[in-house]
Amino acid sequence: MPAEAPPFFPLTKCEVDFDHQNDMVTLLPSFYAFGCEYTSRGLLIARSDAFKLIAAIEKALSVQG
């Protein structure tokens, strides 16, 4: 991998669906790589873990560099 290439692929969007019966959240992220947008297979997480993920994102966004 060339030195100037980022070590990650930028997230372009993330679709979210909540399954009320199973108390689960499905995240379907899309990302940009090699000049194209790709969609991931998705992530299925418990509702409680979704709240932890949201809190972690909020914390990361609140850090001033």
Q: Tell me if 43 is assigned to some domain.
A: yes
pLDDT of 46 reads 96
pLDDT of 40 reads 84
Q: Tell me if 58 is assigned to some domain.
A: yes
Q: Tell me if 51 is assigned to some domain.
A: yes
Measured CA to CA, the distance from residue 20 to residue 1 in angstroms comes to 43
pLDDT of 7 reads 72
pLDDT of 6 reads 65
pLDDT tens column, 2-58: 567 667 788 889 999 999 999 999 999 999 888 899 998 889 999 999 999 999 989
Structural domain boundaries enclosing 57: 11-62
Q: Tell me if 3 is assigned to some domain.
A: no
Measured CA to CA, the distance from residue 23 to residue 19 in angstroms comes to 6
At 60, which amino acid appears? A
Measured CA to CA, the distance from residue 27 to residue 53 in angstroms comes to 11
pLDDT of 38 reads 92
Measured CA to CA, the distance from residue 30 to residue 27 in angstroms comes to 10
Structural domains of the chain, count: 1
